[in-house]
Amino acid sequence: MKKRIAIFGSTGSIGTQALDVIANNADKFEVEILTAYSNETLLIEQAKKFNPNAVVIVNENKYNAVKDALASTHTKVFAGEKALEEVACFDTYDMMLAAIVGFAGLKSTLKAIETGKAIALANKETLVVAGDIVMQKAVEKRVPVIPVDSEHSAIFQCLVGETRNKIEKVVLTASGGPFLGKKPNFLVNVKKEHALQHPNWNMGAKISVDSATLMNKGLEMIEAKWLFNLQPAQIQVIIHPQSVIHSMVQFEDGSIKAQMGLPDMKLPIQYALAFPQRIPSSFPRYDFTRSSSLHFEQPDIKTFRNLALAGEALHRGGNTACVMNAANEIAVYGFLRNRIGFLDMTELVERAMHKIHFIENPTLEEYFESDAEARNFAASLINL
């Protein structure tokens, strides 16, 4: 039987690539649910091609346009943020691809876990914000959480068959983004069009900016803690500009496993959707006979201080990562709208982390309150 997939965030970079994977493996997968925030044109196009049972357009002003366009199909149309949670509880799908960008993906992912659905997790913020609650719920419901981020997919793949073997550390690789080697006197003049030009990966605007500031790698450190039950000292970040080794695991005997491949998000997406099987693909292959060298270096955390801030959040715990993530989302929003400069984003995040009240063991409600408080504070600093 085909695996029925619900794609939450189908019009984003991960969602569109996932649909390409599904289209190329129509004998193995079918689309059950699609959701989008406000891109009704692409959502309608996707729904007509894949004939899902249901679609959600979060922006309620776009509801009539989607409903009218799909009136001649069997697809049910819903609108609003609450609809995301309601549709996540449907029993008509097998796996959720959680690809909504940012904090907005948390509630629907939790609902899917509570109803026993397998999760292909592309939304790292879900674990950054409330990883303790999310993973505890997944354990209680015996729900697999399979990472889609290339780095965490790499670690996950390296750990297959190693259940009983102790991890000494994991090594998350980072390309360094478009500003590798640059110093603050250069970065102060960076514009959004420069930050969006990632050298290796084709990603959405938010993740591209996070990659340029190294916040993306900081978020991945925190995500790795929860996904693989690690201590902060077991997580290392290394710069690897070629993005061929996606991450590594070192075991207590000193042996290191690395997962390699050309930088293409369709590979970890397909791996997560098909797990535990590997299925054939036509993705480009890495050619060792044509490679020059693979380079590694320490990250420059004095220049790219977001990585140091994420390390602080990782060690401190509590609601610190939630506050950091919320402030960062506002900072990136402001940067993409030319309201603040590139280096100002880090300053804003740091101020929020030191301003918002620390809670050592937050409830889910307190996570939401911390998120809102941090967003309001960050927005007040740039007059949003």
Tokens 């505890």 sit at which residue? 136
Q: How far is CA 40 from CA 9, 21, 43, 68, 158, in A?
A: 12, 22, 5, 11, 39
On the question of pLDDT at 291 being above 90, the answer is: no
340-359: per-residue pLDDT in tens? Answer: 999 999 999 999 999 999 99
Shared-domain flag, residues 44 and 138: yes
Shared-domain flag, residues 72 and 156: no
Shared-domain flag, residues 230 and 300: yes
Q: How far is CA 68 from CA 36, 45, 78, 283, in A?
A: 16, 13, 12, 37
Shared-domain flag, residues 56 and 188: no
On the question of pLDDT at 184 being above 70, the answer is: yes
- Whether 336 maps to a domain, the answer reads no
Enumerate residues 6+ apart whose C-beta is below 8 A from 123.
9, 98, 99, 100, 101, 102, 105, 106, 109
- Whether 371 maps to a domain, the answer reads no
Shared-domain flag, residues 132 and 31: yes
Enumerate residues 6+ apart whose C-beta is below 8 A from 111.
85, 88, 89
Shared-domain flag, residues 302 and 228: yes
Shared-domain flag, residues 82 and 214: no
- Whether 216 maps to a domain, the answer reads yes
Shared-domain flag, residues 79 and 32: yes
Shared-domain flag, residues 139 and 161: no
On the question of pLDDT at 384 being above 70, the answer is: no
Closest of 67, 62, 61, 75 to residue 33, by C-alpha? 75
d(CA 168, CA 321): 24
Q: Which domain holds residue 63?
A: 3-147
8-34: per-residue pLDDT in tens? Answer: 999 999 999 999 999 999 999 999 999
- Whether 276 maps to a domain, the answer reads no
On the question of pLDDT at 205 being above 70, the answer is: yes
Residues 5/34, Cβ–Cβ less than 8 Å: no
Shared-domain flag, residues 137 and 229: no
- Whether 37 maps to a domain, the answer reads yes
- Over range 45-73, report the average pLDDT: 98
Half-sphere exposure of 224 (CA within 13 A, CB side): 35
Domain of 133, CATH number, reads 3.40.50.720
Please give the pLDDT value at position 300: 96
Enumerate residues 6+ apart whose C-beta is below 8 A from 384.
330, 333, 334, 339
- Whether 30 maps to a domain, the answer reads yes
Shared-domain flag, residues 193 and 109: no
* Other CB atoms within 10 A of residue 136 CB: 13
Q: Final residue of a domain: which of 129, 147, 165? A: 147
Please give the pLDDT value at position 103: 83
Residue 357 tokens read as 């009240």
Q: Give the chain's largest Cα–Cα span.
A: 61
d(CA 327, CA 352): 6
- Whether 124 maps to a domain, the answer reads yes
pTM equals 0.93
d(CA 102, CA 272): 20
Shared-domain flag, residues 218 and 305: yes
Q: Final residue of a domain: which of 147, 172, 197? A: 147
Give the angle 189-125-115 at the CA atoms, nearest 5°.
Answer: 160
| Count of domains observed in the chain | 2
Instruction: List residues bridging with 6 in a β-sheet.
Output: 33, 96
- Whether 89 maps to a domain, the answer reads yes
State whether residue 215 is helix, strand or coil: helix
